[in-house]
Amino acid sequence: MRLFISCPLGDKLTSYLTSLSAKLPHASLTIPKAYDLTIKFLGETLPERVEPIQKILSSITIEPFEAQLTSLGVFSEHHIRVVWVGVGPEPL
């Protein structure tokens, strides 16, 4: 099972990303119900490790923070399935 650590994005940013995705030419899009910020990709993880990881992560709280959209890319140029947006100190 592939695991990620992520946090949800606010409504304002989610609306903005949805409006951007509508501008992609010749794309058949599946708009996610929620966007998230991937903090860490854990990779392939054994099923028996999932519950302990969830337990540890459930005790963590994250205060709201601001970040700038910095870059745009895709995970595969041959058959694009995922478009990502980077965050950092310099705006897009």
16 inside domain:
yes
Map tokens 């929620």 to a residue: 34
77 inside domain:
no
Binned at pLDDT 50, 70 and 90, residue 49 comes out as very high
Give the pLDDT confidence score for residue 52 in this predicted structure: 96
Q: Say whether pLDDT at 1 is over 80.
A: yes
Number of structural domains found in the chain: 1
27 inside domain:
yes
46 inside domain:
yes
Q: Quote the domain boundaries for residue 24.
A: 2-66
Q: Are strands 68-74 and 36-44 parallel, antiparallel or unpaired?
A: unpaired
92 inside domain:
no
Please give the helix or strand (H or E) that residue 50 lies within, else none: helix 47-58
Which of the pair, 36 or 27, is modelled with greater confidence? 36
pTM: 0.67
